[in-house]
Amino acid sequence: MSSISTDIKPKKHYEILDGLRGVAAIIVVAFHILEAFNGGSRFKQIINHGYLAVDFFFLLSGFVVAYAYDDRWTKMTQWEFYKRRLIRLQPMVIMGMIIGAIFYYFQASDNLFPMIANMEVWKVIVTMIVGFTLLPIPPSLEIRGWGEMHPLDGPAWSLFFEYIANILYALVFRKFSNKVMSVFVLIFAGMLINYTVFGPKGDVIGGWSLNFEQINIGFTRLLYPFFAGVLLCRLGKLIQIKGAFWVCSLLITIVLAMPRIGDENSLWMNGLYESFCIILIFPLIVAIGAGGVIKNPLSLKICKGLGDISYPIYITHYPLIYWYTAWVVDNKVSLQDGYLIGIGVLIASITIAYLCLKLYDEPVRNWLQSKFQRRKEVA
């Protein structure tokens, strides 16, 4: 890496958006904990739409990337942009893979993960090293049996698509006018509606495997929210209301906790709900969050704390989920008998995320910034 120019002055954070990212991340952990009890049925899942948090993250990311970089391309190169994004995201990707490798053999399960007990250590190490790069692993080389492109840390699939979105933005989409961007966003919205309402499943679940079907789902989930976030930032149509953080937190919780709509014979109903949330409700939440102002010091601390742990908890919690799900399935544990351990998993996930943030992520990012960022010499 060559040095990155730092003559670009940092902009203020949207504290409410940071806090909302943390709220959604914690809901994701709770969603995955409760997923162990659904018997493999998306219709029985508690916090049924928790997976939509990923689509919310994509929209948030598009908004923040546009806010941070849209007006800075005269001061930086594409490679400098990529390095800034790598410094922000990549250290925790590596830590997520390391934690996944550490927990891997503890997740052995005759019913859920029969491959683990006899898996050679060198294959786990190779998978971890490949995972450091975020390059996807094909199902034929997968070491768990779920067909994931990142079997040590399943949620890393969304970071793979996040990187693709950043590349598309830097190469092409940043150059588009708002009118051209609007056309593409409408096309991407149509793709999303077509898949959710008229598709075979009635939801956006998927994106984590390296095959045509899953890659198609991944791009369908990525393209509208990310570039709608970019467009929303450019248009600047923000909404100012009192108590914006708490209103938005309530809205995102309701959206993600909503029970499945319709049944196997009316999949389109749930697809319509998800399209409505992703296309309209999520931009509304971001517009309110970005337009809100926090005056209460306690609320500011809550938003900052939630924002700080949001990414670490998302990218490190799933190795614990593998273990917890295997324990529930192997021992036929009911929700009534397993909820206390589930709460323990949630607390452990938050604790691990906080320790990773303070002892690893922040120090590593600070070191990388000091080593690879420099001020341009002024003639």
pLDDT at 8: 58
How far, in whole angstroms, is CA 316 from its chain's centroid?
11
Give exposure, 221-247, as e/b (b: 16+ Cβ within 10 Å): bbbbbbbbbbbbbbeeebeeeeebbeb
CA distance 134 to 30: 25
Contact 174, 73 (CB under 8 A): yes
Contact 151, 123 (CB under 8 A): no
CA distance 125 to 58: 30
Q: For residue 40, how many other CB atoms are within 10 A of its CB? A: 8
The number of residues making up the chain comes to 379
To the nearest 10°, the Cα dihedral for 89, 136, 115, 147? 110
Q: For residue 285, how many other CB atoms are within 10 A of its CB? A: 27
Q: Give which of 162, 157, 25 is closest to 86, Cα–Cα.
A: 162
Q: pLDDT at residue 146 above 70?
A: yes
φ, ψ of residue 172 to 5 degrees: the values are -130, -60
pLDDT at 12: 73
Q: How confident is the model at residue 40 (pLDDT cuts 50, 70, 90)?
A: confident
Report the DSSP beta bridge partners of residue 5.
374
Q: Give which of 315, 316, 314, 327 is closest to 107, Cα–Cα.
A: 327
pLDDT tens per residue across span 61-114? 999 999 999 999 998 999 999 999 999 999 999 999 999 999 999 999 999 999
Q: pLDDT at residue 311 above 60?
A: yes
Q: How confident is the model at residue 378 (pLDDT cuts 50, 70, 90)?
A: very low
Please, where are the H alpha helices in 76-200? Answer: 78-103, 121-133, 156-171, 178-198
Q: pLDDT at residue 6 above 90?
A: no
Q: Write the DSSP symbol of residue 280.
A: I
What is the pLDDT averaged over residues 133-159?
95
Q: Give which of 295, 167, 291 is closest to 233, Cα–Cα.
A: 291
φ, ψ of residue 374 to 5 degrees: the values are -145, 160
Mean pLDDT of the chain: 94
Contact 219, 204 (CB under 8 A): no
pLDDT at 295: 87
Residues 6+ apart with CB under 8 A from 6: 369, 373, 374, 375
Q: How confident is the model at residue 1 (pLDDT cuts 50, 70, 90)?
A: very low
Contact 271, 199 (CB under 8 A): yes
Instruction: Tell whether the torsion through CA atoms of 260, 227, 32 and 107 is positive or negative.
Output: positive
What is the pLDDT averaged over residues 152-162?
97
Residues 6+ apart with CB under 8 A from 139: 147, 209, 210, 211
- Half-sphere CA count of 295, side-chain side, radius 13 A: 3
CA distance 191 to 197: 10
Report the DSSP beta bridge partners of residue 374.
5
pLDDT at 372: 80
Stated pTM of the model: 0.94
Q: pLDDT at residue 9 above 80?
A: no
Q: For residue 75, how many other CB atoms are within 10 A of its CB? A: 13
